[in-house]
Amino acid sequence: MALAAILFMLALFLAPPVKNYFVQRAQISALQSQLNSDYSALDAARKELTLWQDPEYVKSQARERLHFVMPGERQYIVTGTDGSTTDEATQTDVVTNLPEGQPWYTRMIASITEAGKA
């Protein structure tokens, strides 16, 4: 009986430190995985930074994202790439059908309204 009581007391005293050990090991493992993902994100950001330091890459991104063109160049934006052609007779020019003397914003609103109907 005394031996069982001693073993019980020993287990009672050792249980919290052992639990804390395993909890802390799990936290360390989670922090290491987070650190590894942060390092990989840092490496990706460094690679992107080196790309943005290249003037040719900056020009290509300005052309692609912002639709910039170099002086002397012309830019063409193609719409309706589904291959269908629209008949010129079916399109109405709302702005020219408005009476003269209308303010500019009336023509703009009419144009936007007509574009929304198509």
Average pLDDT across each block of 10 residues of the chain; the chain has 118 residues. List them in order.
Answer: 90 90 96 97 96 94 87 83 55 64 79 76
Question: What per-residue confidence (pLDDT) applies to 94?
Answer: 62
Residues 6+ apart with CB under 8 A from 77: 67
State how far the Cα of 70 lies from the Cα of 75, in Å rounded to an integer.
Answer: 9
Question: What per-residue confidence (pLDDT) applies to 89?
Answer: 43
What is the chain's length? 118
Question: What per-residue confidence (pLDDT) applies to 92?
Answer: 57
